Amino acid sequence: MKFGVIILIGGRSTRMGEDKFAVKFRGKQLLDHVLELCKEINASEVIVVGNGDQEVTGKFQFVQDEMDDVGPLGGILTGLQNASNELNLILPCDTPFVNATLLQLMLSKESGQKVVVPNVNGKLHPTVGIYKKELNNELWEFLNAGKRKMMDFIRSVDGLILSENELLGLESNTFVNLNSQKELKENEH
């Protein structure tokens, strides 16, 4: 199965106090954790979406978020518009515990849906998901209508929400977001 990965590094990082993607965690930048995961799962393409003042280079395509004031959906749209694959995993740069097992399980559950996202402990994780390139027009129209809630978008396209029962065996910290220096320190070991 051929798929790409779109990594979201935009956002204001106000709680972190600096660009999250560049913050060191367990000896390497947060972005590097995700890039290593992309190699492990054999992504055929990696696109990093960020805002205009971020300087990032590497073995990936960097694109500037064309809608950086609308939240993650804007970054997802920008990534999908630049993707060459129909099937794309979306990953944020601030969840370093997401692992290959989870992503391969999600890919195995995808069966034609436009969106596949996990729901764990009663919480939806829409920035760790599978989004098809064909969503470009629907996502553009959703955002153009002034809508911003990811859950509303997922419902509008009849996305597949994977339950905890379908995701058995995940580590309890899989979806931990590192948004502040305090959270970095709490999760360092």
**For residue range 124-139, what is the model confidence (pLDDT) as tens digits?**
999 999 999 999 999 9
pLDDT exceeds cutoff 90 at 89: yes
The rounded radius of gyration (Å) of the Cα atoms in the chain is: 15
Please give the domain boundaries of the chain with CATH numbers for all domains. 4-186 (3.90.550.10)
φ, ψ dihedrals at 119, nearest 5° = -125, 115
Distance, in Å, from the CA atom of 155 to the CA atom of 20, rounded to the nearest integer, reads 29
Interval 22-47 mean pLDDT: 94
According to the model, what pLDDT value does residue 29 have? 92
The predicted-structure confidence for 135-167, as pLDDT tens digits, reads as follows: 999 999 999 999 999 999 999 998 899 998 888
Q: Tell which residue, 125, 128, 129, 159, has the closest CA to residue 142.
A: 159
pTM of the model: 0.93
The predicted-structure confidence for 47-69, as pLDDT tens digits, reads as follows: 999 886 666 767 788 898 888 68
